[in-house]
Each structure stands twice: as C-alpha cells, then as structure tokens.
Copies of this chain bind each other. A is one copy, B any other.
Amino acid sequence: MARPRTFDEERALDAAMRTFWEKGYEATSTQDLCDATGLGRSSIYNTFKSKHDLFERALSRYLDAMTATHLAVLEEPGRSAAGRIRALLAQVIESEAECRAAAGRALGCLGVNTVVELGARDPAAAALLERDTARRLAALRAAVEAGRRDGSITSVRDPDALARFLNATVAGLRVSSQGGADRAALEAMAEIAMDALTR
C-alpha cells in the first residue's frame, strides 16, 4: 500500500540510546543521532516526535533492559540472598568493564547519568527514573528480606534502608568507574559494601 521502511526501529532506538549514553542528552545533537542511527532527519522525525521523545524512548528502553537484568540476577536460584546481591554488584562491575572495553572509557549508567544531568528539570525523564527506582528498591528489599530469612544477611537495619543503601552503592560504583577507578578498586568497594549487610 505504501513505501516500506528501510530500517529497523528497534535498532535505531538502540543506536540512539548508545549515543545518549555516551554523550548525554544536551551534548547529543540531532545530527549525532542521524549519524549514529544511519537515518535521515526526515526518518527520525517521521518515526519519533522530537529529540526529547526519542530520548524518553531510549531511556525507557535502557532502564527496562538494565533493571530486567538486575532483577534476574537477584532472583537467580541456587544461591543465598547475600550471594545474589553480591552477584548483582559483580554484574554492575562487569558491565562497566565491558563498556570500557567497547567504548574505550567507562560510561556509567544511563539512568544515573540522567538523574544527574536532567534531575528534576525534566519531568518526563524524572517520572521514568522514579518508576525504575521503585522497582529496583522493591527487588532489593525483597532480596534483603530473603537474606534475613536464610541467614545470609545479619544486619538488623531496616530492609528499606538497606535496599536504598545497595542502590546507592550501585550508583557509587558507577560514578567511581567514570571517575577512573579500575576493576580491582570497584571489586574491593563492593566487598566492603557487602560487609555492611553481614554486620
């Protein structure tokens, strides 16, 4: 009935996501997005409403994928809850190492980067991030409570607070990585964070 698209929308979204991840929202121009996706301007504006709309979709995609991975690690069977949390931190460190290998430098987390760059100034992004944080905290809290039951977590602190601590630890690892900390340093930091759970 009409001329078909010559590109895959998902792939384009992925390329845009990587660009926003590498450069941040403000520093990414629409030309950068054309270059990264291989699309022309018309195709981008025909498919997405605006740069901001494309960013929202890219961020949403990133958060869904990243958090899904983390939730999967937190629910992996055959380990103690503390072991699963430790595995989550290891996963974060691994992903930083992968970015460093692929992009030549640590990229941190698009979620953390967006909180810092756009913070409360972008209500749409803030809403996506808030929803994601709630999911992450719920999963971390559940893991902490499981750890209290299976004995792998002995801290008597409030599970909600422990969940927030762990989420902040992930952010701290990411920022440290962007600040130049190497893998060994990140691993040592993660070990120390785990100490807080078994106090």
Q: Report yes or no: A175 in contact with B130, Cβ–Cβ below 8 A.
A: no
Task: Give the interface segment out of A58-66, A73-81, A179-187.
Answer: A179-187
Complexed CA–CA distance, A133 and B181 (Å): 10
**Contacts known (A161-B188, A176-B164, A189-B164); A155 close to B195, Cβ less than 8 A:** yes
* 0 or 1 for each of A121-140: is its CB under 8 Å from B? (1 = yes): 10000100110010000000
Complexed CA–CA distance, A95 and B158 (Å): 24
- Hey, which chain B residues are within 8 Å of A108, CB to CB? 116, 119
- Hey, which chain B residues are within 8 Å of A178, CB to CB? 115-116, 119-120
**Contacts known (A188-B158, A189-B164, A195-B196); A175 close to B116, Cβ less than 8 A:** yes
A interface residues with partner B (beta carbon < 8 Å): 23-24, 26-27, 105-108, 112-113, 115-117, 119-121, 126, 129-130, 133, 155, 157-158, 160-162, 164-165, 167-173, 175-176, 178-181, 185, 188-189, 191-193, 195-196, 198-199
